[in-house]
Amino acid sequence: MTGLFDHSLTLSPPSGSRRSFLQAAGAAATTPALLGSARAEPGARPDGRADSCIFLWLGGGACHIDTWDPKRKGDGKMVAGSYYDPIDTVIPGVQVCQHLKRSARLLDRCAVLRGVHHEVIDEHAAATNRVHTGRPPTGTTVYPSIGSIVAHQRGAAAVGVPPYIVMGYPSASRGPGFLGSGAGYLYLTDTRVGPAGLQRPNGVNSQRQARREKLLGRLRRRFLQRNRNDNQLRDYATTAIEGLKLAGPKFMNVFDLKSENDRLRQAYGSEFGQRCLLARRLVESGVRFVEVSFNLNFINGTGWDTHNQGQKQQHVLIDQLDQAFATLITDLEKRQRLDRTLIVIATEFGRPPEFDRGGGRGHYSKAFSIVLAGGGLKTGQAIGTTDELGRKILDRPVSIPDLHATIYRSLSIDPTKELYDGVRPVPITDKGQAVDELFT
């Protein structure tokens, strides 16, 4: 089930942006005591009920009209349209692709945002960065990812676990930007054994490990004393110390998927499904934000980037997504955690209704779909309408900043708040407005 993975762990590196005492104060604000005393900005409505987020990433650009927003059927050649037949869902009047049959029966636990859009089309990395950071890049500020902002604002929900984990694609787009390494992520590629970088080498007992840590601590203190004004270095040293705390049995036991019922593990299905099961265990342990990327090895030859021949086997990906997503919803619901856990299915852009010469599709960002589930939201609705082929948004557009504001609000993070890049104030979203229809 683990596919083409190595056993590795990476703590995301600190950014090269400017630091100040305000930066350090912002990092300190992740502690529960300070979070409890934080005051909301005037006009803010941080009324969400979720305490964690599982962010399912379909890297490559999942086609909205072949999944969550089906249209009239094309022929895979000259006639534009969806590639699959639509099916009804439990929401009256709302249909999805035929290969989302399990999710169709649970769509009342979901809200489908069909009017998501941005202007980045041709470049996957730029579009991925836009969806993760909510802004175009600049030459002066390295913006933090949505996961890092959640980690910075909420911190871990328990002692001895990290606030933010990425399973799949480590990149600057997932990183902490100007927030510093304390808001970075733990990078994991293997669901079987957990982060190998936290495991004690064979032959190193607890006494020997303690001596090593004591020596390292002395060296670290001396080095920091000689570099008192280097806040970037201090942030990174703090992160390294926190990393050592994660090597204990409490956190490492989270990765023991074999402790789960065999029937449940089989219900989650594929490699991606096993990551979703692990994500559920991680948020239960106190991890605040988990990004779960779809399979790193392209089981259809192209992944979700279905140019040319990749289109013909796209249903294999959709079926695996459907199985894992539906099982995650029902599993969280049985454990009475669905209202407290926001699930997001996101991708960097959609795809056009026309087919290319190889029978696949290009890129399209003027209209695509993102799905939210659980999180205490007002679900059971499709928000936004596109035209007869999914090209144009007819009503209720949702920008990427709007999406970010919605996720923050669901997690009781004030979407009007300002963060600080050194002494420079940076709004937490780029003028984003939460989707009010999702909040009661």
Q: Report d(CA 290, CA 281) in Å as an integer.
A: 10
Q: Is 167 helix (H, G, I), strand (E, B) or coil?
A: strand
pLDDT at 160: 87
**Listed residue (25, 24, 62) closest to 370, CA to CA:** 62
Fold of 9-201+212-438: Alkaline Phosphatase, subunit A (3.40.720)
Q: Which of 361, 315, 387, 308 is nearest to 121 (CA)?
A: 361
Output the pLDDT for position 209: 65
Dihedral, CA atoms, 38, 423, 127, 385, nearest 10 degrees? 50
Q: Which residues lie below 8 Å from residue 230, measured CB to CB, with a gap of 6+?
A: 224
Reference 298, options 1, 60, 21; nearest CA is 60
**Cα–Cα nearest to 291, from 5, 12, 14, 53:** 53
- List the one residue out of 107, 109, 106, 119 whose CA is nearest residue 69: 107
Cβ within 8 Å of residue 371, ≥6 positions away = 68, 110, 111, 112, 113, 343, 344, 345
Residue spans per domain, the chain? 9-201+212-438
In the chain, the amino acid numbered 428 is I
Query: DSSP assignment of 319-338, as one string?
Result: HHHHHHHHHHHHHHHHTT-G
Low-confidence ranges of the chain (pLDDT < 50): 1-11, 13-44
DSSP state of 107: G
Predicted local distance difference test score (pLDDT) of residue 45 = 52
Angle between helix 314-334 and 271-285 (nearest 10): 30
Per-residue model confidence as pLDDT tens digits over 273-317: 999 999 999 999 999 999 999 976 678 889 999 998 889 999 999
Q: Are 148 and 176 in contact (CB under 8 A)?
A: yes
Backbone angles phi, psi at 386, to 5 degrees: -110, 165
